Copies of this chain bind each other. A is one copy, B any other.
Amino acid sequence: MLRLSTKGQYGVRAMFEIAKGDPEKPTNIRQIAERQDVSVAYLEQILNTLRRAGLIQSIKGPGGGYILSKTPSEIAIGEILKELEGPVAITSCLDPEEGCSRVETCVTHLLWRSLGEKIQDFLNTITLEDLLNEEALLKEAGTTRTISLTWGTTG
C-alpha cells in the first residue's frame, strides 16, 4: 500500500544523479538514463516537468545537459515529488481539487490528514545533500548496510 509511482522514484534518482555531477558541467540525459537504468524518452518527460518547476536548468547544444538550480542542500525530496506527483493526499477527500462533504464530521479524515502531514514533513526535511552524504557512508562501509541514518527509525 501507499506506493509511489515510478515517475516520482525516477525523478528523485535523476535529481540525485545530477547532484552527484560537477555543478559547472551539465549532466546529459543519456548519462542519467544509463546510470539509473531508465529510458531516455521517459526521463525526458520527467526532467521537463522538473525544469518547468524551476528545480533544474537545461543547457542546450553540444556538451549540454542538466544542472541543479539550487545547491543540493536546498532541494528537498518533497519538492521533487510534489512537482511530479502533486501534493501528498492520502485520500481524495484531502485533495484540494476533489474534496468531500463529510469532512466536517469525519474522524478518519483527521487521521489521514495527520498522516499526510507527517509524511510531508519527513520528505521536506530530507534533501539531496542528505542522499549524497548517505552514499558516502555507504561506500565507506562497503557492502555492510549503514544504520547511521540521521533519518533512520532508531534515531
Task: Specify the chain B residue showing the minimal Cβ separation from A121.
Answer: B153
Which A-B residue pairs are the 3 nearest by beta carbons? Answer: A1-B85, A117-B153, A107-B135
CB < 8 Å neighbour of A2 from B12, B37, B90, B114: B90
Q: Which residues of B contact A118 (CB under 8 A)?
A: 118-119, 122, 153
Q: Which residues of A contact B (CB under 8 A)?
A: 1-5, 8-9, 12-13, 16, 37, 77, 81-82, 84-92, 102, 104-105, 107-108, 110-112, 114-119, 121-123, 126, 131, 134-135, 138, 143, 146, 149, 151-153
Interface pair B108/A16, CB less than 8 Å apart: yes
Q: Which residues of B contact A115 (CB under 8 A)?
A: 119, 122-123
Q: Which of A126, A134, A149, A153 has the most CB of B within 10 A?
A: A153
CB < 8 Å neighbour of A1 from B4, B105, B126, B131: B4
Whole-angstrom CA separation of A13 from B91 in the bound complex: 13
Interface pair A89/B3, CB less than 8 Å apart: yes
Whole-angstrom CA separation of A101 from B130 in the bound complex: 23
A-B contact pairs, 17 of them (CB 8 A): A1-B8, A1-B86, A2-B3, A2-B89, A2-B90, A2-B119, A3-B90, A4-B90, A9-B91, A16-B108, A104-B143, A107-B131, A108-B131, A110-B138, A110-B149, A114-B151, A118-B118
